[in-house]
Amino acid sequence: MTTDPTPTASLADLTATRLTAGYAAGEFSPVEAALAVLERAEAAQARTNCFTRIAADEALAEAKESAERWRSGTPAGPVDGVPVTVKDILLMRGAPTLRGSLTSREEGPFDEDAPSVARLRESGAVFVGKTTTPEFGWKGVTDSPRHGVTGNPYDPRRTAGGSSGGSAAAVALGAGPLSLGTDGGGSVRIPASFCGIFAFKATYGRVPHYPASPFGTLAHVGPMTRDAADAALMLDVICGPDRRDWSQLAPVTGSFRAALDEPLAELRVAFSPSLGWAVPVAAEVAAAVREAVGRLAALGAVVEEIDPDIADPVEAFHTLWFSGAARVVQHLDAAQRALLDPGLLEICERGARYSALDYLAAVDTRMALGQAMGRFHSAYDLLVTPTEPITAFEAGAEVPAGSGHTRWTGWTPFTYPFNMTQQPAASLPCGVDGAGLPIGVQLVGARHADALVLRAAHALYGAGAAEIPAPPAP
């Protein structure tokens, strides 16, 4: 997604990196930025229904405190004064977490931040509001019984993707340059591809997560931003340790942001147009992704077109995912279950029928997949695929009309495998189709190669690969 780095642009259109530079130079204040972003948030909500709550009074109070810190030369951290939105799956102090469900209670107290929210708050972020999600984040599009349908910023009749669709639409329309999403099967990358923004799913455990997801170690927390540099900035903050997550990784040494400009010379890149599964990729998508791969080669990477030696793990993913969904609703009575999204209820009923042996067989498939990708990455530093084989389809539908798919996993074959393997993966825009809808390219690294994925994505931004038209002004 294109952004104007000059002070003459609306403050709502600036990246976090540009905003903090402006605060430091005294060009503008966090209060001015918050006012611009809040105005854009209201417009984005009217256009796409991407918010569950806009916290204008709280955001302005936080922006005023930030402005005082910048005036005194004592910013609290790297994102002090930067407007941020939070997917309504994650806990945020002072705001209800409803998860898109009519079964969620609105009564508080809401007195705890999720780890990533806590780290942003400690760094002085300005919280604009909470963004929409499908019920309990169960599918790859964003509509819910509680909050309705979230539309695409390029065409509200199309889906924003999911399950972090509200966050993607908010970032695309200038309602804050940073957003926190979650990704259990593609849920930051799918909407990033459909909405023309950047999203990053770090190695599992790199960003602490609490409460633990019912979907287990499939679910990651990740930055959704305007570009890779902002994601690296955000990751430097949110990967801070938190004792509530027993599965978090050891603290990082160094900075993701500081490592962005290392060269790509001799980077070994595997380009897999379909993962070897005969995925029907739309022609315009295939061409745009291939052009992005050519940009990597022009930057010095050594590119080979090759598929990893893996089979589609969708049935094993279904066992893990549907079992997790069944666990989410296990405590609900019959009257509450009647309030659920019908599609969610269907997969929960299926998930409840799996045996422990079924689940362990899926775990075996997952381990074999991880081992295969480990071998693959001994020969290749980076795997490149389309993020999605299609662009955004009609809003309010789980699958595209006439596709023959029955569940959302049918049309997103490039995302969920890398939740099973816990690898870092990013999506960035690489073009638009004939209808002007964004196309995404996915970069996947070996486990723990988060900095490398961000560096390659940043280089593609620098080479102009992600320059696409902005969505219509809301």
Q: Which residues are catalytic?
A: 87, 163, 187
Paired tokens of 273: 């147009």
Is residue 189 a contact partner of residue 440, using CB atoms and an 8 Å limit? yes
Eight-state DSSP code of residue 397: -
Inter-CA distances, 388 with 193, 265, 313, Å? 7, 27, 17
Q: Which helix (H) or strand (E) holds 325?
A: helix 314-328
| Nearest by Cα to 329 from 101, 132, 140 | 101
3-state class (DSSP) for residue 156: coil
Residues in the chain: 474
Inter-CA distances, 436 with 154, 165, 391, Å? 8, 18, 10
Q: How many beta carbons lie within 10 A of that of residue 307, not counting itself?
A: 16
Eight-state DSSP code of residue 471: P
Is residue 39 a contact partner of residue 59, using CB atoms and an 8 Å limit? no
3-state class (DSSP) for residue 249: coil
Burial of 56 per CB tally in 10 Å (0-12, 13-18, 19+):
middle
Inter-CA distances, 384 with 181, 260, 430, Å? 22, 18, 12
Q: Is 358 left (phi over 0), alpha (psi -120 to 50) or beta?
A: alpha
CA distance 125 to 62: 8
